[in-house]
Structure 1
Amino acid sequence: MPLTALGSLSPISPLSPLTLTLTLALSLAQSPPQDTPGPPLALPLSMAEEEEEEEEEVVEGLEALSVLDSKKDSAAPFVLRDPTYLMVAPRLVRAGQVYRAVVNILDPSPPLVVRATIFRDNIELAAVEHECESDFPHALELMIPPGASGGRYRLRLEGNEIGSLTGSSFVNETTLSFSPRGATVLVQTDKPIYKQGDVVRFRVVALDTAVKMVEDSVDVFILSPSGVLVRRWLSRQCREGPVSLSFPLSAEPEYGEWTVRVEATNTFTQHLFSVELYTLPRFEVQVSVPPFLAADAPYLEGVVTANYSSGAPVTGNVTVRASVRALTSLPRPAPAPAPESSLAQPHAMFAGIFHFKFLVSELEELVVGGGDGEVVVTATVGDAHWDTTNAAYATTRIFSSAIRLTFLGESPQVLRPPMPFRFYLTATQYDGSRVPEWRLHRHRLLVSPEVRLVTGERHRLLPRTVKMTHAKYALVGS
């Protein structure tokens, strides 16, 4: 019986299941036929089922062997399962730009021919086909037409076996977003507001998606507030760097919002600048006050001057107002002070210069919520000859007049009971500046020593009064 040949296989041989099935099939095929058929063997039911299962395994092994032989003869590899791949691609599509995608066929998938296609409203715009090796990334580049417009965009990825006509190994589709901007254009002017007769200077920078200068040229247009084309520059190259241009305004231009329009790579950018009427004032007003004011100072003094452009003094009247605002909110420019929250000094006989003086005690009453503040002094001058007015303002800060004392040296300091203890103090104003000598002469330093022992006991020593001196900007005590 041919099955008896199976018993001769050694169990130590590391044969795979396919190789074992092939050995069974050969042993069955090489067994000599019997000359005289013998009587059928009477096997139990279980043994007959096992024999039928073994015969089915032999038939499956022969079929697998024939399939392998047929695949060896053909040039295409045999794919036992669906291939595995990885693709990375941008979601955004721009007109006139190269769309790049990276495909990697992962092991153990065989090499495939990958085709990438971009559709817009079911119309093929760009396609590329590339043979991709296994376990190696490949870049696919598709050129989007410059005249591409909006619509429904989708990317289709298809993988086929090399030399096979049986169909695609995998197909995948995804939706893309379209952007008409092919480049980023930046426009910068030298100032936001111009007057009649000024020269408008600006520059243009055009960058692509890789933040590099675009290779194409740009067109620049100047539009008036009414939309009239006033000036244009065509085919300006940006590859070497920013494009610097200038445009002179006439003596009587159209006032309002002007537009700089730049067109580059199927996109356009607009930048606005203002042109306003400017007339020189007939005279100029200046207010001079000290930048800082101590809280214990008796007066806030200042001077107001007004002169024509020729230097001649202005004759007329002047009104000086002083208001106080908190340092936490400093709007610019200074708002017009309300009459009920400010101090006013009108003067009817103004001849180009006026000295004013405000009591600091009255200014402190205007401070809301306490703390330091800023005094805003506004002067309004009226010209009696031309019947015009002009105003100016100045600010000064009020700081605390208390003297700040600071110990010099490390803390704690070493005290030796048998020896005298000497310490040094510095006296400065609240803002850290030097204390005037006249303030030191009228003050005295009271020293109240106190000894605290390790046990927690405290002993107060006799206090002493030390005269404050201005030598070396320090105070010495012992």
Structure 2
Amino acid sequence: MNLQLLPILCLTFASSAVASNSYIVVAPKTVRPGLTVRISATILHASSDVRVQTDVIAMANSTCNQATASETISPGASGFIELQMPNQLPREDGPYSLRVTGSGGLTFMDETTLIVDQKCVSVFIQTDKGMYKPGQTVLMRFIAYKPTLLPYTGTVEVSITDPNYNLMAKWKDVRLDSGVASRDLPLSIEPPLGMWAISVSGECLKGKQTFRVDKYVLPKFEVTVKPPSFLVSSDTSVEGTVTAEYTYGQPVKGTLELTFYLKARYYDYYYSNPPKTLRMSNIKINGTKAFMLDSSKI
């Protein structure tokens, strides 16, 4: 019976008839360096206990196992094999394959190709804002964690390039204390304008974030309306909030006009019955404003 490689970690199998001396092995198709791969093995029929061994083989050096683990499984039973991946699976040694062999009450050998995802740590890059003016200071923070959600405490290299791909700053061996590190970059009074890039790289991790450097422009703001998620026919009012903030996070002061209406149905237009609306005007707002409309008038 062939080895099955599936992109999920566990399945439920059901069979009404199986051949003698047969087995099922289920393993993930994609693996990551440094992580533990859980492989499921089921011995359907065998003369006695079977020792199931799993090996990760590098095609460039098939005589050297990159990882190995085994488990003894009784006939009619299932078991899991915990296969610990090495911290590094270099691309030049690949491609890699998973070899499964059985000995004892059932002898078999099967092999299939693995997909190696070199990313074993996720990194997030944050800046204190998205756009900077010449002469300001860019504040950066880097957060890295493993797929287990535990912090990554190794070292990384941080570099910053301008819109012309010139290297403007570089820090080597930046240590992530509890998975977090920070740096700052003072901009000159005449920096290249446009999109700058922050790159973070390390052992099996890589991340990139951009920010804009531009001269003063008129402030832009965003308006967000949060109405109720639903209404029922017995409701007599509609309550919600309106939030207006500049792109740099400060509240917008001014007046707003709020219009509420029910979406018209086809036959409303057909019989010239447009939807009724409720309107509130000249409402003072300073960042956030709560509203309440009398829906019984619609």
Identify if the C-alpha distance between structure 1 residues 236 and 82 changes in structure 2 by more than 3 Å, giving closer, same or farther: farther
The superposition leaves residues 26-74 of structure 1 with CA deviations (integer Å, 9 ceiling, x where unpaired) of xxxxxxxxxxxxxxxxxxxxxxxxxxxxxxxxxxxxxxxxxxxxxxxxx
**1:373 Cα deviation after fit:** 5.3
CA contact (8 A) 1:219 1:232 kept: yes
- Report the Cα distance in structure 2 between the residues aligned to 1:116 and 1:129, rounded to whole angstroms: 5
Query: How is 1:254-269 mapped onto 2 (pairs within 5 angstroms)?
Result: 254-269=192-207
Structure with bigger gyration radius: 1
- Match 1:194 to one of 125, 132, 139: 132
Identify if the C-alpha distance between structure 1 residues 103 and 280 changes in structure 2 by more than 3 Å, giving closer, same or farther: closer
Quick check: 1:119 aligned with 2:48?
no
Query: How is 1:38-49 mapped onto 2 (pairs within 5 angstroms)?
Result: none
CA contact (8 A) 1:156 1:173 kept: yes
- Match 2:70 to one of 130, 134, 137: 130
- Report the Cα distance in structure 2 between the residues aligned to 1:97 and 1:224, rounded to whole angstroms: 34
- Report the Cα distance in structure 2 between the residues aligned to 1:275 and 1:257, rounded to whole angstroms: 6
CA contact (8 A) 1:261 1:270 kept: yes
- Match 1:148 to one of 84, 87, 90: 90
Q: CA RMSD in A?
A: 3.8
CA contact (8 A) 1:115 1:127 kept: no
- Match 1:225 to one of 158, 163, 166: 163
Identify if the C-alpha distance between structure 1 residues 207 and 143 changes in structure 2 by more than 3 Å, giving closer, same or farther: same
**1:144 Cα deviation after fit:** 3.7
**Higher helix proportion (structure 1 or 2):** 1
Quick check: 1:249 aligned with 2:187?
yes
Q: How many residues align?
A: 216
TM-score (structure 2 length as normaliser): 0.59
Letter of the aligned partner of 2:39 in structure 1? V
**1:159 Cα deviation after fit:** 0.4
**1:326 Cα deviation after fit:** 6.1
1:89 is paired with a residue of what secondary structure? strand
The superposition leaves residues 344-399 of structure 1 with CA deviations (integer Å, 9 ceiling, x where unpaired) of xxxxxxxxxxxxxxxxxxxxxxxx99845577xxxxxxxxxxxxxxxxxxx659xx
Identify if the C-alpha distance between structure 1 residues 371 and 113 changes in structure 2 by more than 3 Å, giving closer, same or farther: closer
**1:106 Cα deviation after fit:** 4.2
Give 5+ residue unaligned stretches, structure 1. 1-80, 163-167, 282-323, 329-367, 376-394, 398-429, 433-478
Identify if the C-alpha distance between structure 1 residues 239 and 118 changes in structure 2 by more than 3 Å, giving closer, same or farther: farther
**1:131 Cα deviation after fit:** 4.7
- Report the Cα distance in structure 2 between the residues aligned to 1:209 and 1:137, rounded to whole angstroms: 24
Higher relative contact order (CA 8 A, sep 6+): 2
Identify if the C-alpha distance between structure 1 residues 192 and 129 changes in structure 2 by more than 3 Å, giving closer, same or farther: closer
Corresponding residue for residue 216 of structure 2: 278
**1:123 Cα deviation after fit:** 4.4
Identify if the C-alpha distance between structure 1 residues 114 and 278 changes in structure 2 by more than 3 Å, giving closer, same or farther: same
Q: Percent identity?
A: 25
**1:180 Cα deviation after fit:** 2.4
Corresponding residue for residue 34 of structure 2: 97
2:107 is paired with a residue of what secondary structure? strand
TM-score (structure 1 length as normaliser): 0.39
Letter of the aligned partner of 2:70 in structure 1? H
- Report the Cα distance in structure 2 between the residues aligned to 1:194 and 1:266, rounded to whole angstroms: 31
**1:90 Cα deviation after fit:** 2.0
CA contact (8 A) 1:99 1:144 kept: no
**1:148 Cα deviation after fit:** 1.6
Corresponding residue for residue 178 of structure 1: 116
Corresponding residue for residue 101 of structure 2: 158
Corresponding residue for residue 208 of structure 1: 146
Letter of the aligned partner of 1:137 in structure 2? G
Corresponding residue for residue 69 of structure 1: none
**1:210 Cα deviation after fit:** 1.7
Query: How is 1:48-447 mapped onto 2 (pairs within 5 angstroms)?
Result: 83-94=21-32, 96-104=33-41, 106=43, 109=46, 110-121=48-59, 123-124=61-62, 126-134=66-74, 135=77, 137-144=79-86, 146-149=88-91, 152-161=95-104, 169-238=107-176, 240-278=178-216, 371-372=277-278, 431=293
**1:153 Cα deviation after fit:** 3.7
**1:262 Cα deviation after fit:** 0.3
Identify if the C-alpha distance between structure 1 residues 82 and 126 changes in structure 2 by more than 3 Å, giving closer, same or farther: farther
**1:272 Cα deviation after fit:** 0.2
- Report the Cα distance in structure 1 between the residues aligned to 2:130 and 2:72, rounded to whole angstroms: 55
